[in-house]
Amino acid sequence: LSDRLSGVFDKLTKQGALSEDDVKTALREVRVALLEADVSLPVARDFVKAVEAKATGQSVTKSVTPGQQVVKIVHDELVHFLAGDEADIGALKVDNPPAPILMVGLQGGGKTTTTAKLAKRLKEKQGKRVLMASLDVYRPAAMEQLRVLGEQIGVDTLPIVAGESPAQITKRAKQMATMGGYDVYMLDTAGRLSIDDTLMAEVEAVRDIATPRETILVVDGLTGQDAVHTAENFDGRIGITGVILTRMDGDGRGGAALSMRAVTGKPIKFVGLGEKMDALEEFHPERIAGRILGMGDIVSLVEKAQETIEAEHAERMMKRFQKGRFNMNDLKMQLEQMQKMGGMESIMGMMPGMKKAASQIKESGFDESVFKRQIALIQSMTKLERANPQLLQASRKKRIAKGAGLEVPELNQLLKMQRQMADMMKKMGKMGKGGMLKQAVK
């Protein structure tokens, strides 16, 4: 996605505003890019249509490029699409004890692991008494897996009885949960490698016995086009109430999230972030959106820029950066902007490649009042010195520090910072027009 989009940006930055053609061209690329992030074709198509309607005719904020503007619109729409009703995220209906929760999905998707993770969460965060039961009669090892996890997290499991059917186990789980005064009982069903009729019929029977409060579809976040097929089948036949995406700790793009939302309209409640029992998090739509688009934090950078930077200013800076120039005048301008925009760390942290510089500055005891002193130091330099900071030898340094009412070590720190930034600008400049964005997109 990154390469495609930056290609589009290069085209767009040459123009002034978002015309209908601009948007169309950009979104054609976005659509292809979504497909590369494993979003299913019809979903990508619908999404792009929705964005097109929103984007066309929108004015471009002065201080950002049309390309950046498109990113923000695409991103915002994606977040909106993924989020749905915020109240559903991270929430499970577990009133009227014992509340049954049915876990469904393909084999290896992470059902058993996620069942235990959820049980642990319900126990620890909501103080619920939970009973877990494995309905995987095909693999004794799977039943044993749930029992071991239960022991590990201190959650009871239904005693294993050989030779029972899933329906029989469900009845026994319901009975034990009722008699034993449990708040919740969780049914971990068996999966198959792909959707089949026997599996669905079996899960239907279990559903009819338990009448679950929640039916959670557990899907491997690394699956692509298949995710849609899985979601359609489970939602169509069983009726799901929510989705949990696992393996989001992997390096998949998370396109499945968008597909699942679009096909089922059901909330994505949690994401799995590892094999450990506490590697389960509430779903964060912004994070997944950023991941699908691969944009890093550029969107928030654009937002801040929209509020504070003046267009001419930004453009002038950009031109200088592209030429690889960065002297004390530029630094002063940057410092003044940072003052306005709420601090060096937040701004630099958002610019790829600058996170390290930001943390170094912080380590050196940096705080906001430093801006003022640094600007005072620069003001105490002559014109010639500002444009050519390499001229600053011991005697000049003493004079400048004295003029600002400060000490030479502080001036040395400022010089170091200027050199670091100049180096970075040179690197960015070498990447040519739109280089900064390209860097950001990666």
Footprint of ligand GDP on this chain (CB under 6 A)? 105, 107-113, 191, 246-247, 249, 272-275, 279
The answer to whether residues 345 and 379 touch, using CB atoms and an 8 Å cutoff, is no
- Decide if residue 112 touches Mg ion (CB under 5 A): yes
Binding piece for Mg ion, criterion CB under 5 A, among 7-15, 108-116, 278-286, 327-335: 108-116
- Please choose which of Mg ion, ligand GDP, none residue 153 contacts, taking the beta carbon within 5 to 8 angstroms, the exact cut-off set by kind: none
Q: Judge whether 211 is annotated as a binding position.
A: no
Q: Judge whether 256 is annotated as a binding position.
A: no
Residues 136-175 that bind Mg ion (CB under 5 A): 142
Residues 6+ apart with CB under 8 A from 24: 52
CB of 266 to ligand GDP, least distance (A): 18
CB-side neighbour CA atoms (13 Å) of 339: 13
Identify which of 20, 32, 64 has the alpha carbon closest to the alpha carbon of residue 317. 64
Nearer to ligand GDP, 199 or 309 (CB): 199
Residues 6+ apart with CB under 8 A from 248: 221, 254, 271, 272, 273, 288
CB of 149 to ligand GDP, least distance (A): 9
**What's the sign of the alpha-carbon dihedral 188, 193, 194, 196?**
negative
- Decide if residue 40 touches Mg ion (CB under 5 A): no
In order, the DSSP letters of 145-182 are HHHHHHHHHT-EEPPP-TT--HHHHHHHHHHHHHHTT-
CB of 212 to Mg ion, least distance (A): 17
Nearer to ligand GDP, 111 or 120 (CB): 111
3-state DSSP call for residue 131?
strand
3-state DSSP call for residue 194?
coil
Nearer to Mg ion, 105 or 435 (CB): 105
CB of 98 to ligand GDP, least distance (A): 22
CB of 252 to ligand GDP, least distance (A): 11
First vs last Cα of the chain: how many Å apart? 9
Q: What is the DSSP letter of 434?
A: T
| β-sheet bridge partners, residue 100 | 185
Name the closest residue to ligand GDP (Cβ): 272
Identify which of 84, 145, 138 has the alpha carbon closest to the alpha carbon of residue 112. 145
CB of 289 to ligand GDP, least distance (A): 19
CB of 136 to Mg ion, least distance (A): 5
- Please choose which of ligand GDP, Mg ion, none residue 150 contacts, taking the beta carbon within 5 to 8 angstroms, the exact cut-off set by kind: none
Q: Judge whether 7 is annotated as a binding position.
A: no
Name the closest residue to Mg ion (Cβ): 112
Nearer to Mg ion, 140 or 432 (CB): 140
Distance CA 335, CA 439 (A): 22
Nearer to ligand GDP, 239 or 274 (CB): 274
- Please choose which of Mg ion, ligand GDP, none residue 108 contacts, taking the beta carbon within 5 to 8 angstroms, the exact cut-off set by kind: ligand GDP
**H/E run at residue 21:** helix 20-36
Q: Judge whether 108 is annotated as a binding position.
A: yes
Which residue reads 């977040």 in tokens? 79
**What's the sign of the alpha-carbon dihedral 425, 426, 428, 432?**
positive
- Please choose which of Mg ion, ligand GDP, none residue 249 contacts, taking the beta carbon within 5 to 8 angstroms, the exact cut-off set by kind: ligand GDP
Binding residue positions for GTP = 105-112, 188-192, 246-249
Binding residue positions = 105-112, 188-192, 246-249
Site for Mg ion, rule CB under 5 A? 111-112, 142
